[in-house]
């Protein structure tokens, strides 16, 4: 899919962005296409594209779902009902909502299934109570709801450990009218060491545990492996893999996982809005425009000012210190590389499309930024 439209996130020509509002999200479809190709290559090539179940939480864009379906990817993973609906509208055939469904979301899910009957929806659960909640909503359904057991692989966020409790939960799902046991879901987001050997060592412990269980109690589907580990799962199992960040990538993953060979396809545009003191610039890249859950100094990188110090961050302002401040007048554009692209995307209503080094008039909506 990748063409000759080259993009280097560290060398964006800001002169070509003078008409693009800031703060803004910029994306490069040719790089996204190359990243999709690379994901498919990692799981074994186009003939094995059904092994990839990308998470849509990173981009939340219907256009990117369509790009993936065009490449032969038809299974997806979502965190919200809005993301699941986006997948259905964009033509995805199968979407797992990898987040526990409780409260009014159960009814909303039932409505989605009724509205988009050509898309197969499934969910996760990790306890008997969750199973009973699903049963109360879907017990009368003529189409059983697919349920994956969410397994705690060591992240200790959600999920159930292998053992008698998991066996009882599986039996409960299998015996409940309106539900269908689909298999296991394992997210190993706690494995993020930059060293490939360290990642592999930790991932193999989970892989072997899953294989032992699967030999004893075979499952129709097993979904495992986030961005840092999915290549390991792909090499050592036949399971589905569910990375999300590789579509857009970010500076944190580029620094940490060069072995995966993805490229940054999304950046942020910001401008100088004030020069409050010597060696200081204020940019329009506040908390409401870039992910800010990490320490201040690690939130972004400015390719044009790699040695700048981030000294303050508020809702609409980012203050930096640099001895080169005099080189950057009011209104001067800068490219910022976010450390965490996923929540950064959700802060923008649309992305401006870049092609051949220039901003186009195309704007791709961040379709599922609402819940």
Polymer length in residues for the chain: 371
**pLDDT reported for residue 52:** 98
Supply the pLDDT for residue 4: 67
pLDDT of residue 343: 98
What burial letters (b/e) apply to 208-237, b meaning 16+ CB within 10 Å? ebbeebeeeeebebbbbbbbbbbbbbbeeb
- Quote the pTM value: 0.96
Q: Tell me how many degrees the CA angle 169-174-179 measures, rounded to the nearest 5.
A: 100
Residue 2, pLDDT score: 45
Would residue 153 be called left, alpha or beta, if left means φ above 0 and alpha means ψ between -120 and 50 degrees? alpha
Answer for the pair 102, 81: CB distance below 8 angstroms, yes or no.
Answer: no
Beta pairing, strands 94-97 & 120-125: parallel
Q: Which two tokens stand for residue 234?
A: 């792909």
Rounded CA-CA distance 5/356 in Å is: 5
Q: What is the mean pLDDT of each run of 10 residues along the chain (371 residues)?
A: 72 93 98 98 98 99 99 99 99 98 98 97 98 94 93 97 98 97 98 97 98 97 98 98 98 98 98 98 99 97 97 99 98 98 99 94 97 85
Which residue, 293, 298, 302, 290, is CA-closest to 348? 290
Domain boundaries of the chain, sorted by first residue:
32-246
Other C-beta atoms closer than 10 Å to the C-beta of 60 total 24
Q: pLDDT at position 105, please?
A: 98
**CATH number assigned to the domain covering 32-246:** 3.20.20.10
Question: What pLDDT, on the 0 to 100 scale, is given for residue 309?
Answer: 98
């Amino acid at each position: 899919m990748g063409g000759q439209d080259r993009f280097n996130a560290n060398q964006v020509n800001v002169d070509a962005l003078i008409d693009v509002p800031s703060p803004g999200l910029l994306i490069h479809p040719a790089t996204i296409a190359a990243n999709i190709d690379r994901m498919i290559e990692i799981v074994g090539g186009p003939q094995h594209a059904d092994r990839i179940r990308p998470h849509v939480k990173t981009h939340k864009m219907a256009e990117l779902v369509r790009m993936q379906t065009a490449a032969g990817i038809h299974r997806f993973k979502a965190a919200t009902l809005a993301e699941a609906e986006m997948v259905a509208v964009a033509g995805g055939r199968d979407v797992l909502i990898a987040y526990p469904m409780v409260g009014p979301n159960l009814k909303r899910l039932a409505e989605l299934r009724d509205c988009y009957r050509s898309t197969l929806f499934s969910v996760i659960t990790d306890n008997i109570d969750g199973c009973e909640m699903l049963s109360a909503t879907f017990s009368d359904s003529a189409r059983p709801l697919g349920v994956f057991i969410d397994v705690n692989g060591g992240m200790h966020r959600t999920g159930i450990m292998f053992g008698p409790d998991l066996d009882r939960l599986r039996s409960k799902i299998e015996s409940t009218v309106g539900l269908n046991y689909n298999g296991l879901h394992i997210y190993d987001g706690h494995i993020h060491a930059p060293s490939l050997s360290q990642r592999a060592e930790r991932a193999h412990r989970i892989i072997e545990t899953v294989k032992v269980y699967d030999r004893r109690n075979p499952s129709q589907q097993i979904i495992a492996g986030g961005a840092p580990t999915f290549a390991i799962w792909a090499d050592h199992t036949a399971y589905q893999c569910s990375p999300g960040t590789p579509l857009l990538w970010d500076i944190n993953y580029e620094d940490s996982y060069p072995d995966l060979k993805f490229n940054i396809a999304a950046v942020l545009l910001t401008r100088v809005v004030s020069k409050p003191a010597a060696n200081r610039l204020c940019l329009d890249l506040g908390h409401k425009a870039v992910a800010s859950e990490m320490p201040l100094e690690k939130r972004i990188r400015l390719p044009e000012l790699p040695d700048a110090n981030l000294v303050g961050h508020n809702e609409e302002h980012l203050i930096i210190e640099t001895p080169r401040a005099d080189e950057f007048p009011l209104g001067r554009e800068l490219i910022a590389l976010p450390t965490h692209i996923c929540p950064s995307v959700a802060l923008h209503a649309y992305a401006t499309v870049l092609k051949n080094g220039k901003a186009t008039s195309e704007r791709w909506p961040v379709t599922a930024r609402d819940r």
